[in-house]
Amino acid sequence: MIDSNFYDVLAADALLYERCKELRAEGRLKFITTHIQQDQIRATPDASKREALNRIEASLVHTSAFAWDVSRFDLSEWTSDQDTVLIEEIIGDGNKTDITDALIAITAKYKTDAIVTNDKSLRKRLAKVNMPVKVLSADDFIAWVKTQ
């Protein structure tokens, strides 16, 4: 799962993105995204940046949880009671607008092996709740790509 802030890294580094495409063609890497990242990209005010971000190829999956005023009915699944608690733990004392981060993380829990984000606060919050997926910074991911 790639967080919207990692799209920026991929769009800015053509060599990295090309290597990721090679790994994808070999069946060793797959970028997953949700409507949340797509909505955030769609809201990018700079047209040329938005175009570059939209060129990043990722498979769209439904979010594995739902939040009023954030989730799209046609691209979301209902939230279990257990995940409602986990969402609250991920948000913690943070900003309640962190619900988008929590929805992306819950989706990663069910649909991916890892989440790649440059958001230090999100990485800390996910470590605190012991997310059952790998949580990688951009640097961690780039280091992994270089070993492949």
**Annotation: CATH topology of 4-142:** Rossmann fold (3.40.50)
pLDDT of residue 49: 95
Cα 148 → chain centroid? 22
Where do the domains of the chain lie? Answer: 4-142
Nearest by Cα to 1 from 126, 148, 116, 82: 116
| pLDDT tops 90 at residue 3 | yes
CA torsion angle 65 90 43 136 (round to 10)? -100
- Residue 83, token pair as written in the block: 């995940």
Terminal-to-terminal C-alpha distance of the chain = 18
Q: What pLDDT digit, counting tens, does each position of 63-116 carry?
A: 998 888 888 888 888 888 888 888 888 887 666 668 899 999 999 999 999 999
